Amino acid sequence: MATIKDIAAKVGVSVATVSNVLNDKPNVGSTVRRKVLRAAKELGYRPHRAAQAMRKGRTRTIGLVLPDLTNPFFPQLAQAVENKARNLGLLVCLIDSQDSAAGETDGLTLLAQHGVDGIIWCPVGPEIPSPIRTLDRPVVLIDRPRPGFPVVHSNYLMGGELLARHALEHGHCRVGLLSGPRNLESAQQRRNGFVGAFPERIEIAWEVRLGFDGNLARDARNALLHRAGATLIVAGNDLIAINAVRFLTRHGVRVPDDVSIVGFDDISWARIVTPGLTTIAQPLPAIGTRAVELLQEGMSGAALANRPTVFDVSLVQRDSVKSI
């Protein structure tokens, strides 16, 4: 691998001059600067990040903390973040907090010990872990808002309203809710968006709360089998919806012929299950890109406003809803 000494020898200048050019120091003439940069490119020079970190106290590494990598939503989100980070020359250290406050605290502590320059974080719950409170680096939330932090997420209210409109357009006036966790704003906002869109025209027959991992607790399984006249099931995310379809199918209930189902996220599985899942697509590339841009601004010294950046969502119509 080419070194600074190789560049200096090729151009015929001192190592100090090469270092000044590569570190954007102002005290080098434009001709020499151009020769040094051309030589660095021709030699395939790549800066030694660890040595830079020692010198500058910056690692050009960011942490990304996500709740559950077994849910396809989060690897898709991680891909968006990593693609943008690499474009900016940033290395991403990925932490799976395994949907637990303890896992989240352990992962954040490790990131702080490794001296990351900033953190993009999707919280597992309402707590603010101690490593976040003591971290002297910028933190940007992604997907799930918390007071006092900049955050990038989808317009969940809009998603709930789009699903409610879709329900009415297909004649569904009595629905059952398999909602996500009550303590997650992302779950609450989409649920409230649906319930609040047409309260006089859509009746909520029943509601069960579940985790976003999609596991169907007993009360959810009972509600699916009895349904109390609900013709549409509104699931808090695609994993819940897909598990509900599998459960109903195993019990001889046909989707959508006997009951319709919608989800939220548009994970890759939503289009390969049968029937294809009608759901809400979250713009993950835009969300991931913007989160990295905000973090980069924070790492460059800008004061980040503690407000949300919210992206519109869209309805993806497939085959899990029947007109009645």
Residue 139, both tokens: 């933190």
Burial, 54: exposed, middle or buried (Cβ in 10 Å; 0-12, 13-18, 19+)? exposed
Residue 18 CB, shortest distance to ligand RIB, in Å, is: 47
Query: Does 144 participate in binding ligand RIB (rule CB under 6 A)?
Result: yes
Restricting to residues 61-90, name those near ligand RIB by CB under 6 A: 71, 73
Distance of CA 176 to the CA centre of its chain: 27
Residue 13 CB, shortest distance to ligand RIB, in Å, is: 53
- List the one residue from 59, 97, 186, 188 that touches ligand RIB (CB under 6 A): 186
What does the alpha-carbon distance between residue 239 and residue 32 come to, in Å, rounded to a whole number?
A: 58
Contact (CB, 8 A) for 230 and 175: yes
Q: Residue 119's beta-bridge partner residues?
A: 63, 139
- List the one residue from 237, 243, 260, 320 that touches ligand RIB (CB under 6 A): 237
- List the one residue from 143, 216, 243, 290 that touches ligand RIB (CB under 6 A): 143
Query: Does 188 participate in binding ligand RIB (rule CB under 6 A)?
Result: no
Residue with Cβ nearer ligand RIB (61 or 282): 282
Residue 203 CB, shortest distance to ligand RIB, in Å, is: 25
Cα angle vertex 133, ends 132, 139, to 5°? 45
Query: Does 121 participate in binding ligand RIB (rule CB under 6 A)?
Result: no
b/e per residue 255-270 (b: at least 16 CB within 10 A): bbeebbbbbbbbbebb
Residue with Cβ nearer ligand RIB (175 or 184): 184
Q: CB nearest ligand RIB: which residue?
A: 186
3-state secondary structure of 71: coil
Query: Does 45 participate in binding ligand RIB (rule CB under 6 A)?
Result: no
Q: Is the peptide bond before 256 cis (omega within 30 degrees of 0)?
A: yes
83: part of which helix (H) or strand (E)? helix 73-87
Per-residue interface string for the shown chain with ligand RIB, residues 255-294, x marking contact by CB under 6 A = ---------xx-----------------------------
Residue with Cβ nearer ligand RIB (39 or 235): 235
The residues, ordered by sequence, that sit 6+ positions from 43 with a Cβ below 8 Å of its Cβ are: 2, 6, 7, 10
What's the length of the chain? 324
- Helices H / strands E in the chain, number of each: 12, 12
Residue 264 CB, shortest distance to ligand RIB, in Å, is: 5
What does the alpha-carbon distance between residue 226 and residue 72 come to, in Å, rounded to a whole number?
A: 30
Residue 304 CB, shortest distance to ligand RIB, in Å, is: 21
Q: CA torsion angle for 321, 285, 91, 293 (degrees, to 10)?
A: -140
Restricting to residues 154-183, name those near ligand RIB by CB under 6 A: none
Residue 143 CB, shortest distance to ligand RIB, in Å, is: 5
Residue with Cβ nearer ligand RIB (59 or 186): 186
Per-residue interface string for the shown chain with ligand RIB, residues 238-257, x marking contact by CB under 6 A = -x------------------
Query: Does 194 participate in binding ligand RIB (rule CB under 6 A)?
Result: no
Query: Does 104 participate in binding ligand RIB (rule CB under 6 A)?
Result: no
What does the alpha-carbon distance between residue 147 and residue 130 come to, in Å, rounded to a whole number?
A: 16
Residue count, binding to ligand RIB (CB under 6 A): 11
Binding site for ligand RIB (CB under 6 A): 71, 73, 143-144, 184, 186, 212, 237, 239, 264-265
